[in-house]
Chains A and B, each alone.
Chain A
Amino acid sequence: MSLDKFYYENKLPKLFAIASIFWGLVGMLLGVIAAFQLAYPILNFSDFFPHLAFGRLRPVHTNAVIFAFVGNGIFTAVYYSIPRLLKTPMWSEKLGKIHFWGWQLIIVLAAVTLLFGFTTGKEYAELEWPIDILITLIWVVFGINMFGTILTRRERHLYVAIWFFIASWVTVAMLHIVNSMEMPASFLKSYSMYAGVQDALVQWWYGHNAVAFFLTTPYLGLMYYFLPKAANRPVYSYRLSIVHFWSLIFLYIWAGPHHLLYTALPDWAQSLGTVFSIMLILPSWGGMLNGLFTLRGAWDKVREDPVLKFFVVAVTCYGMSTFEGPMLSLKNVNAISHYSDWTVAHVHIGALGWNGFMTFGMMYWLIPKLWNTQLYSKKLASQHFWIGTLGILLYAIPMYWSSFRSYFMMKAFTPEGQLQYQFIDIVQTVVPFYAIRALGGTVFLIGVVMMIYNLMKTAKQGTFVEREEAEAAPLVKNYVAPANSFWHSVIERKPLLLLVLSLVVVALGGLFELIPTFLVKENVPTIASVKPYTPLELQGRDIYIREGCYNCHSQMIRPFRYEVARYGEYSKAGEFVYDHPFQWGSKRTGPDLARIGGKYGDSWHFNHMLEPTSMAPGSIMPTYPSLFKNTIDKASTNSKIHAMRNLGVPYPKGYESIANDDLEKQAKKIADGLKENKIEVMSDKEIIALIAYLQRLGKDIKLENK
C-alpha cells in the first residue's frame, strides 16, 4: 500500500508552550504577592490601587494558574501529541490559531475584569457572562479541531492519552455551561441562576471537577504520552491505564459535595460525596503506580535526566494529593481542614507538584526537540528541580502546621465554658506561617525563572523546526476487524462513541446529585421569616462580591459547639433561598459572617472598613478607602431588581421603578444613625450599602426566634 507523506506542524505547540510558561510566571508571581499580602497587609496598597487588594488579586492568581498556565500546558500537549499519535497533522491550522489567540484574549480579559471588580463571586468561575460565552466558543473551536484531527487519522486505535483529552474536553464543556447559567443584569454584571444550597452544590460539582477534568485528567493524558517518551519505554501496564481511565472519570464527578460537608446541604448528598471520594483512591493510585512503574529497571536514568526527575516528583505529588483528598472528605477530618489552610496546602501540592512539575518536565523535554538541539544546561535544570522541591515543602509545611494550630485554638474552651481565644488571637498566631509560606512560593518562583533562562538559551542555540516530515499508510475504508478481536476494540476505534460514552459516564453522577437537590422540596425547607434583600442591601451585597470578601470570609456556620459559640446559631438551608449567588466561601482567613448582622453597631463597621486595625488590633484585613469615596450605583438598581425577580425572587411587580426610593430611605436612616455617633458621611456612599448588607446577615432567623 502506498504511504501518505505529511507534516507535523510545530508552530502551535511552540506558541502554546511559550504562553504556558509566560502565564505561569505571571500567575505564580501574583500568588506570591497575594501570599505576602496576607502576612503584611500594607502590601494591599489600598490607598493607591483598590484593584490590587487580596480579594481581587487572589481570583486573578487562581484563574491565571489554572486556566492560563495549566490550560496552555494542556493545549501544548494536545497539539504536540495528538498528530503524532494519530499520524496526521492537526485538522485545521486556522482553527488552531483562532484557538490560541482566542484563549490568550480570554486570559487578558479575565485579568482586567477581575482586577476591576467584575466577578460572579463563584470560585474558579468568576468570569462574567460575556467572557463565559467567549470561553464556550473557543472551547468549541478547540473541540472541532481535535475531533477533525481524530476523524482524519491514519492510526485506527486511539492511544489512552487521547481518551483522557476527549473526556476532559466533553466534561469541561458540560461543567462550564451548567455552572455558568446566569441572568445578566447589565453588560458586566450577572446573577447566578441558582440560589443558596442549589448554587453551592452546582458550584462545587463544578469546582471539584474543574480540579478533576482541567488539572488532572488532561495532565494524565500528558503523563501517558510524555513519560514513556522521556523514559523511552512503554507505559508499565496499558490495561491498567484503561481501568484507570474509566474508573477515574466515573468516580470523580460524584465527589463534589465533599466540599460542603457539615453545611446546610442535605445529608444524603454529603454522604454520596464522601463515599465516592474514598473510592477515588483506587483509580488514582492505579494511575500513579502505572506512571512510577513505567520507570522500572530505568531508575538509573532518573539520576541523570532532569526531565524524569520532574516527572517522578510530579507523579508522587499526584499520589499524595489523591490520598489526601479522600482523607479530607471524611467528615471528621474535614471538620478540621475545611475553611483552614490545610485545603490551601492540599491544592498547592497538586498545583505546584503535580501540574507545575509535570509542565516543567514536559518543557525540558519538548523545547530541545522543537529547536532540534540539546538542553542548554542539565545542571541548571537539576538545580531548578531541587529549588522547586524545596519551594513546595516550604510552602506546604507551614500551611499544615497553621491549620492544626488554628483548629486547636478555635475549639479551645475555658473550664467555665467560654471560648478561650478570640478570632484575632488565632489570626495573629498564624501570620508568621503566612510569611514562611510566601517565602516558599518565592523560592518556587525563582526556580521558574531559572527554567525560563535555561529554555531561552536552549532555543537560542538551536534552530526552530517548523514542521517535521512523516509518512504513514491511510486507513483502510470498510475496515473489518480480525476474527479474534473483542467487542471492546469497537469503542477504541470509534472516537464519537468514546465521546458519547464518556459523557454518559460523567453525566451520571451529576444527575444523581443535582436533580434531587433541585426537585425535592424537603432538601431546602422554607423559613417564613426569610425575606428578599432590600435594594440597598442588594447593592451592598454586590459590593461584597465585587471586593471578593468571600475569599477570606465564609457565610456558613457548621453545627459544632465551637462554631455556634463563636458565630451563633448554625446555618439552615432555608436561609439562603434568595442568595444568587451563594456566598458560603471556602476559607476563613477572617471570621464567619453568616450572623454578623446586629453583632456590632453601624459605626463599628464604618471604622472597621476604614481602618480594620482600629477596631481589631492585629487584623490583616485590607483597608477599603474607596468605599468612602465611591457613590452607590443607583442607576443599576432597576435592572438588578428586575433580574432578581426573573430568577424567582418575589419582589412585587413594578417594584424596580420605586426601589431607589426605599434605597434612599434606608441609606438616610443609616447615615443619620452614624451622625449620632459623630460620624459625618453622605448617605449615597458605597460604605452605607455595605453596612446595610452586613447588618442584614443572619437576622431573618433571629427575628423568628423572638
Chain B
Amino acid sequence: MKFSTYLVKITGVSIYPILSLLLFVAFFLIVTYWVYSIDKNEIQRLENLPLDDKK
C-alpha cells in the first residue's frame, strides 16, 4: 500500500501515552460518576433481569 503524503516525523511523541492516559482517566471518571448516579431501585430491577425471564 502506498501513502503519498508522509509526515517526516512525529514531534513530541512522548505526549501520546500521557494524552491517552488522560483521555482514559477522564472517560473513567465520567463512567464512574454516571454509574453511581443511578437510582438504587433501578439498579435492583436491572440486576434481576436475568432471573425473571419466566414472565
Chain A interface (Cβ < 8 Å from any Cβ of B):
81, 84-85, 87, 155, 157, 159-161, 193-195, 224-225, 228-229, 232-235, 238-240, 242-243, 246-247, 250-251, 254, 268, 271-272, 275-276, 279, 470-472, 484-489, 505, 508-509, 512, 516, 518-522, 647-648
Contact = CB atoms under 8 A, between A and B. Distances in A.
A553 B38 CA distance: 53
A239 B38 contact: yes
Given A275-B17, A276-B20, A471-B55, A520 B9 contact: yes
Contact of B6 (A272, A508, A520): A520
Contacts of B1: 193-195, 647-648
Interface in B1-48: 1-3, 5-10, 13-14, 16-17, 20-21, 23-24, 27-28, 31-32, 34-39, 42-48
B53 A247 contact: no
Contact of A521 (B8, B14, B42, B43): B8
Contact of B51 (A160, A234, A512): A234
B47 A84 contact: no
Given A85-B50, A472-B55, 19 more contacts: A85-B49, A85-B53, A155-B49, A195-B1, A234-B44, A234-B48, A246-B27, A247-B24, A247-B27, A247-B28, A251-B24, A254-B20, A268-B10, A271-B17, A279-B21, A519-B3, A519-B6, A520-B10, A647-B1
B34 A486 contact: yes
Given A520-B7, A647-B1, A470 B55 contact: yes
Contacts of B6: 519-521
B51 A279 contact: no
A604 to B, nearest CB: 37
Contact of B47 (A234, A268, A488): A234
A683 B54 CA distance: 72
Given A275-B17, A486-B38, A519-B7, A81 B31 contact: no
A123 B13 CA distance: 30
Interface of B is mostly: helix
A518 B20 contact: no
Contacts of A470: 53-55
Most A CB within 10 A of own CB, among B16, B32, B49:
B49
A522 B9 contact: yes
Nearest to A509: B20
Nearest to A519: B7
Interface of B: 1-3, 5-10, 13-14, 16-17, 20-21, 23-24, 27-28, 31-32, 34-39, 42-51, 53-55
A647 B2 CA distance: 7
A229 B14 CA distance: 47
A243 B17 contact: no
5 contacts: A246-B27, A470-B54, A471-B55, A520-B7, A521-B6
Nearest to A251: B24
A232 B54 CA distance: 13
B2 A235 contact: no
Contacts of A485: 39, 42
A232 B17 CA distance: 43
Interface of A is mostly: helix
Nearest 8 pairs of A and B residues by beta carbon: A84-B53, A522-B9, A234-B47, A238-B47, A521-B6, A159-B49, A488-B34, A268-B13
Nearest to A524: B6
Contact of B50 (A225, A250, A268, A648): A225
Contacts of B51: 228-229, 232-234
B55 A518 contact: no
A519 B20 CA distance: 19
Nearest to A492: B46
Contacts of B35: 239-240, 242-243, 488
A532 to B, nearest CB: 14
Nearest to A488: B34
A275 B24 CA distance: 11
A243 B32 CA distance: 6
Contact of B20 (A246, A272, A648): A272
Nearest to A233: B51
Given A157-B46, A229-B50, A242-B35, A648 B16 contact: no
B7 A228 contact: no
Given A81-B50, A238-B47, A519-B3, A488 B37 contact: yes
A229 B52 CA distance: 10
Nearest to B33: A488
B21 A275 contact: yes
A238 B43 contact: yes
A522 B10 contact: yes
B50 A521 contact: no
A160 B21 CA distance: 25
Contacts of A232: 51
A239 B2 contact: no
A516 B10 contact: yes
Given A157-B46, A470-B53, A268 B16 contact: yes
A272 B50 contact: no
Contact of B8 (A243, A268, A486, A522): A522
Nearest to A279: B24
Contacts of A233: 51
A512 B7 contact: no
Contacts of B3: 518-519
A484 B2 contact: no
Given A238-B43, A238-B46, A470-B53, A520 B8 contact: yes
A224 B49 CA distance: 11
B43 to A, nearest CB: 5
B50 to A, nearest CB: 5
